Amino acid sequence: MDNLYKAAGALMPSCVAEGFETEGRIVKLFPLGEGHINRTYKVTCALPEGGTKKYVFQRINTKIFKKPAELMDNVVRVTGHIRAKAAAEGRDPERSTLRFVPARAGGYLVVDGQGEYWRAYVFIDDCVVYQQVEKTEDFRKAGVALGRFQKMLSDFPADELDETIPNFHNTVSRFADFRRIVSADPVGRKESCAEEVRFVLEREDYCGRVLRRIDSGEVPVRVTHNDTKLNNVLMDRETGEVLCLIDLDTVMPGSALYDFGDSIRFGASSAAEDETDLSKVHFVPELYDAYREGYLSEVGDVLTPAELDLLPFSAILMTYECGMRFLGDYIDGDNYFAVARPAHNLDRARTQFRLVAEMEQYFGIH
């Protein structure tokens, strides 16, 4: 068995596979996906009565997710809630969310000999994901997926979930961090991006606009996904219909606006996130409209008037926040985001700020 893991180029100890209540005997194992945080493998098991069953095994990156037990409690409770809702609505519960596999020792985590935390879930077959928007209709369907996710969880008590990454979208806190980094200028890069720094500082008022509405009660705290890029949406390979959202590690209390805004930031752009030619970078209103239509078709009757009113601003806010984080990491010496070239994070920041400026003009928001 260990030879199978080595042949796959894997670093998955045999004790991990033996620690979960999976069915059958492992016959295939290989790395899966394009994620940069957790180590992920697709596992095929041969069943005694014939046929196979597939699973996904993941090692949780505890440098980022420092509370794996709380994280797993969040996702198991949320997926259980979605599964029950899907069954009640006549949809296949096994294709409407992930099903995590219990550990033989109890709970849903197995700890290997190096102290690393692993989890397993049933692989959802006959589905596809898209790494970028290829057709407007695909992006509309991604909006449907997020809206359905939020609607099914609209009656889940968000305050019962753990905040696995504190202040994840607290833009006031992010802005304070940015100011500290600029002031310290640890590697002497501040002067090379003075225009971009000024762009961030001039928009400080953006940072508290949603938080103030949360504090006033106009914007409720809901269960949010917090990583709503297109490649976290599963679609049925045959019908093309949306199935569910995956990559649930950042599910925690937050605002529906953060999820919507980040989806637009990532998907309604004409260019890659790190495009160096800014003449190619544009906000695409048609993609925004398609996503919004799909999203509201599911959750429009759940959102409050304040949430509906703030949807356009949320796209600006999340794009601004992400650009601020890219720029802050560049000034700090590239300590958080992986980079492939010296000014990679600065390039990323510039694309975000280009999008912010175009969104401001399109929506008439300043």
Q: Is 365 helix (H, G, I), strand (E, B) or coil?
A: coil
Question: Of the CATH numbers 3.40.50.10800, 3.90.1200.10, 3.40.190.80, 1.10.10.10, which one belongs to the domain with range 136-363?
Answer: 3.90.1200.10
Secondary structure percentages of the chain, helix, strand, coil, to 5: 50, 15, 40
pLDDT in tens, the chain (366 residues): 444 444 444 567 778 888 999 999 888 888 876 544 568 889 999 998 889 999 999 999 888 889 999 999 999 999 999 999 999 999 999 999 999 999 999 999 999 988 999 999 999 999 998 877 889 999 999 999 999 999 999 999 999 999 988 899 999 999 999 999 999 999 999 999 999 999 999 999 999 999 999 999 999 999 999 988 888 999 999 998 999 999 899 999 999 999 999 999 999 999 999 999 999 999 999 999 999 999 999 999 999 999 999 999 999 999 999 999 999 999 999 998 889 999 999 999 999 999 999 999 999 998
**Cβ atoms of residues 261 and 268 within 8 Å:** no
Place of tokens 């000999």: 113
Q: Are 69 and 95 in contact (CB under 8 A)?
A: no
| Chain region(s) in the chain for CATH 3.90.1200.10 | 136-363
Euclidean distance between CA atoms 71 and 64, whole angstroms: 11
Residue 75 · residue 134 · CB < 8 Å: no
Q: Report residue 8 CA to chain centroid gap.
A: 27
Q: What is the dihedral of CA 155, 159, 161, 162, to 10 degrees?
A: 160
User: What pLDDT, on the 0 to 100 scale, is given for residue 10?
Assistant: 52
Strand order in the sheet with 127-128: 127-128, 233-236, 242-245
The CATH code that applies to domain 2-125 is 3.30.200
CB 43 within 8 A of CB 17: yes
Delimit the CATH 3.30.200 region(s) of the chain: 2-125
